[in-house]
Amino acid sequence: MLALRTPLSFAVKTLMFGSLATLSTVAFSASDSTDLSNEDVPTTTLDTITVTASSGGVTPTVNQQIIEKSTILDMKDVLKDQPSLSVSGGNGVAQQLYIRNMGENELTFSVDNVSTSAQVFHHQSRFMFDPALLKSINIEKGTGAASSGIGVTAGAIRMTTVNANDMLKSGKDVGAMIGGGYSSNEGWNGVTAAYGRSSNGAVDGIVMGNIVHNDNYEDGDGNEVPYTEIDQESYLAKLGWNINPDNRLELSHRREQMSGDIGFRPNLIGTFGDQTIFDTETTQDTTNLAYQGYDIGGIYALDIDANAFYSKTDDERKQIDNLSARIPDPLNSEAETTGANLSVTYPVTDAHRLVTGINYRDSKISTDAYTVGTGEEEKEEYGVFAEMRWDFDPILLTTGVRYDHYDITNNTEQNLSDGMVSPSIAATWFVNNNLSLNASWSQAIQSPKLYESLILALANGDQHSFADDLEAGKAQNAEIGIEWIGDNGFMAGASVFDQRFKDYINTYDTVQANQGELKNQGYELNLGYQNNGIKVYLGMSHNDPELNGEYYGYALDVVPTGDKYVASVSYQFDDPQLEIGVKHRYMDEYQYREAGETEDRTMPKYWVTDVFANWQPFNNDSLSLNAGINNIADKMYYNQSNFRSTRFTDLTNWNAERGREYRVGINYKF
């Protein structure tokens, strides 16, 4: 195993894990009594999707209640109606996520404040989460503020999972949920959960599981897309202890698993050559210990949020078709991350708050099939930050600074270590009760990346290296926006941004090097209306990323697309409690030209329409009957977010999107 440990980084690690132990002691001493009445149990209203730019109150919302009232099966269903987000085609591990066209190399994903920086292969294993477990989701666009965590360079998606108190019906201490669904193209799913709390409300727990089976689906032309059959399983066990109304400890374990006979590059299966097909199983296990404390310390009234975690991804592959001597068989690899986070909020005055904190993350990748080098890579990161939140009514001002440091050793035992100070500032002016203006600027470190553990087993695994003059990149984002929330139900928002990566770190022929400036400029517009059961939404986004002023497309970094437009209309009846609606997505055509080419290429435009309905026959959330038709016109199309380059010029290299699909589902809570 690699051993990367400097005196300072070791001190940070000791401080982080020591802090959690100390916090537990603080919580115990702060507890007046563990005999809590149900009325004193900390309960949390289900949050909706939040967007940390303008239009946060306008864009579509998603939370646990909405998922129970829908036919959502994966995160693509959750995110596809957001104008600035896109998810490429296929099932499970074939899907890739983008925020403002920026790929997963530059995005942060976290579940219950657990994030990793290691991956098995390309985009595979980076973003494993089943929305059946979702309580709320928060989306950050662009470079993060000081408190956003380590290396939030282009955006973040943060999920939280449900606990027992979120699921229990009012006045009850025990409950359960069972549900299932069917898709005509082609698959089924089933979910079950049991949850409860002690009679005094001090202890609560939930056990939840969901299974999704997808057969090979058909595209809009009725052609079966091969090797898209996949099984997905997710499990969550969570135990909470409400020491008193202001102190909570929570221990959880979550497993995400995907298995099936899939191609080496499952997003590329199409008619691209004769890919090797593997019997593949990818499993991610995450254990997390979290503490939340409010009004700690009497007169100082501190708020504390802390967690420590361990996450491990195992990937096992056995060749079953189109066998390749180049690829070891079996091909097993793993990625693991240990980390912790601590933030403390200090009430400087009644109006102003100071937030300070530490983030720590140690990530490792390895494979047992390597032939050269060490077969391992390790990256240790820590960050400290301070952020002041000023309430100068009617202006909210946030100023912050953070320092991030990394220490990385690759497969050939090259070692790099560096750090960076990153400031940030944001302001919102509430002009009146309806209108607000906002502006922000922030910077974050872009550090070298761990390679992909699977590739360490391939013939070129020994070639992974850092350029001699490689330096940390600087991600910066400037943004201004406006938002209107009218008294008559109308809402509107707009934002304009300029995002730049200076000394952008890019991998070219297995060498990580600074490649110049990656610039992404764009804007987003949102309109909404909600009144008397009617909901209407219109949104669009425009993004124009370039590397050194020229077109650049690479699946893990950035994939430019045409403008995206989304629209939805729904109506909620009071009696019966029935909601019906329609959603529409349109991608404008996109023209681009690769370096050295003399003619433009064109990604064709497409539009897709879905309809949905939800009926709650008991006029509450006990029973939900859901139905929908996705791609009702049976359109044949390819997602523009699929990677493109001179190597892959034919659209049929990629997984086409699903054709028409009828979905039905049921959820029963008791």
What's the whole-model pTM score? 0.88
Closest CA to 214 of 667, 637, 663, 614: 663
| Residues 473, 106, 137, 659, Cα dihedral to 10° | 160
**Residues facing residue 384 across a β-bridge:** 358, 403
Question: Which architecture, in CATH terms, is 7-669?
Answer: Beta Barrel (2.40)
Give pLDDT tens digits for 318-368.
999 888 888 888 888 889 999 999 999 999 988 999 999 999 999 998 888
CA distance 247 to 226: 51
Three-state SS for 508-522 is ECCEEEECCCEEEEE
- 37-46, 415-424, 529-538, 637-646: range with lowest mean pLDDT: 37-46
Closest CA to 360 of 178, 132, 115, 589: 115
Closest CA to 235 of 262, 203, 202, 212: 212
Identify the residue whose tokens are 């009071």: 574
Give pLDDT tens digits for 455-507.
777 755 556 789 999 999 999 999 999 999 999 999 999 999 999 999 999 88
Give pLDDT tens digits for 263-310.
888 877 655 567 888 999 999 999 999 999 998 876 668 999 999 999
Q: Which residues contact 651 (CB under 8 A, 6 or more apart)?
A: 638, 642
Of the pLDDT bands very low, low, confident and very high (cuts 50, 70, 90), residue 207 is very high
Looking at residue 632, what is its pLDDT? 97
CA distance 528 to 535: 7
Could you give phi then psi for residue 389, rounded to 5 degrees? Answer: -110, 110
CA distance 140 to 180: 32
Q: Is 494 exposed, middle or buried (0-12, 13-18, 19+ CB in 10 A)?
A: middle
Give pLDDT tens digits for 565-582.
999 999 999 989 999 999
Looking at residue 327, what is its pLDDT? 83
Closest CA to 276 of 336, 216, 328, 200: 328
